[in-house]
Amino acid sequence: MVKPFIVGHLSNLFWADPGCRHDYDLFGDSITFDTTYKTNKYNLVLALFCGVNHHKNTIIFAAGFLSRENVESFEWIFNEFLTCMIKHPKTIITDQDLAMKNALLHVFPNTFHRFCLWHITHKMGDKIGHTYQNHSAMAAFHDFLNNSISITSFEESWSAWVLSNGLADNMWLRDIYRIRFQWCPIYMIDHFFAGMKTTQRSEGMNSIVKMKIRSHYTLLEFLSKYEYVLISLREKENSKDHQGQYAPQKTLTPLAIERQMCELYTHEVFIDFQEQAIRSMHYFIRPRHMENQVFDAVSISTFEVSGTIHMGDATLFAKCTCRLFESIGIPCRHIICYLTLNSISTLPEKLICNRWRAIQKNRPTTSTNTADYKDTGNLRPLLNQLISLAGDSEDKLIYARKILEDDIKSLTDNQTGSENAKQPRSITRFNDSIQKVIDVGNPEVARTKGCGNRGRPSKKSERFISKRMLNVPKQRSCSKCGIRGHDKRSCPTKDQFSQQE
């Protein structure tokens, strides 16, 4: 989708292929959104919508170019994303950009908006520098930030930490405390984020894209490299899907539930579940008096209550106060302990998160004409079987390769023959869907936040260095020996020249 800002010139651009839409349909429950700079000659801002697939790898749902970073531009790209993907994400993670926040409130009113935790904690170096350099103080901060078991305990720890470090009057800390429900982990436990806390997924993908792209690229040059990145990501996912089929996972406990999930989850997610299964053996279950279907998971070493489980009567749906399943999609150690001690050998269907299943996806091609797409998923099992059979020996590999090469050549010849019988292929075959031809010129060079330092370095250390360099006069070179720091009258070699003369 193209939006002109200046008449005749491209301003904003959004795109997503059928494969991206298919990925979003499966894994679009939680997304990250971030912008980056210096990816094209027009200084347009690259915006990426990213998420996590069933292998816990980063995937791209959509991308776009923006000429401005204001509310109008962000609303435009969010609306295009919604039109393309049809459904809202459940949660989204961004930085604290105010224009972005206001646009999200308008376009995604029912989506929970989380601020990137890394950006907030990273700012502490500038806002509370003396405390930030105190390792014990910061260790205490990260401990209660990430390990508080309740909102009350977090707020009590925050108040004590602020007072003990003399930060009660720090306005920045007061401001971020007011919005704590949008970045502190303890306030997020009822919202699903697929294990994400930051925009690191988008930023990491920005880095991958920028490794392939130069700032002087035109938009067409950018898109060709971007397509290469998409293909690489999808090949990696297909490879992991194939490995999962033929590489059985190992169980580490005698629990029947672990054996069940070994067959359902991908390797990466099963490792996380396995950790919870192992830790479940460190607890016992104690029913709460006077409370029906409520149980405490108690540590066998410390006898402390680690989590409280609320059980449903008929559905066997368990809900724990730690909210691990709600936020990540993996049953916690407390629930596994309860089920095991009550002789429940299979995990209830409501405690299995389908997005983590080891599924074989039939992803559409990247063709812009979705009508051209045909379901080729039934070919994949045959190809996988051929690869498995041919892996025994060199002769079988050669034979299998010959079969595939001959069949591909046969299909190519048939396709060429049928195309020659038709009208020449060209863009005119899309005329039935094109209402009007729009001539769009190259974008105007945009002036964005990341297009330069505008004459002043961004860091304090850089500003100090720059001012110091301005105050130091440029040294002239000696006309006799060429060395800086003196002239010909005080040159150490003056006597030598005199003697030679």
Q: Which residues have a Cβ under 8 Å from the Cβ of 307 and sit 6 or more positions away?
A: 296, 297, 320, 321, 322, 332, 333, 334
CA dihedral 314, 316, 322, 323 (to 10 degrees): -80
Query: In the chain, which stretches have pLDDT less than 50?
Result: 366-375, 421-432, 434, 453-472, 497-501
Residue spans of alpha helices (H) in 213-286: 219-246, 256-264, 267-279
Model pLDDT, residue 440: 54
Q: Copy the structure tokens of residue 482.
A: 């060429």
pLDDT of residue 402: 80
Query: How many C-beta neighbours within 10 Å does residue 350 have?
Result: 12
CA distances to 422, 478, 487, 488, 494 from 498, in Å: 93, 16, 16, 12, 6
Place of tokens 């130069």: 214
DSSP 332: -
Backbone angles phi, psi at 408, to 5 degrees: -65, -40
Q: DSSP 3-state assignment of 49?
A: strand
What does the pLDDT look like over 110-156, one tens digit per residue?
Answer: 999 999 998 899 899 899 988 999 999 999 999 999 999 899 999 99
Per-residue buried b or exposed e for 273-301, using 16+ beta carbons within 10 Å of the residue's own CB: bbebbeebeebebeeeeeeeeebbbbeee
Question: 56 exposed, middle or buried (CB, 10 Å; 0-12, 13-18, 19+)?
Answer: middle
At 364 the pLDDT is 58
- 3-state DSSP assignment of residue 199: coil
Residue with tokens 């029947």, as numbered in its chain: 256
Inter-residue contact 216 to 41 (CB < 8 Å): yes
| Predicted local confidence at residue 228, as pLDDT | 86
Whether residue 269 contacts residue 356, with contact meaning beta carbons closer than 8 Å, is answered with yes
Give the pair of three-digit tokens for residue 222: 């950018």
Classify residue 180 by burial, with Cβ atoms within 10 Å: 0-12, 13-18, 19+.
Answer: middle
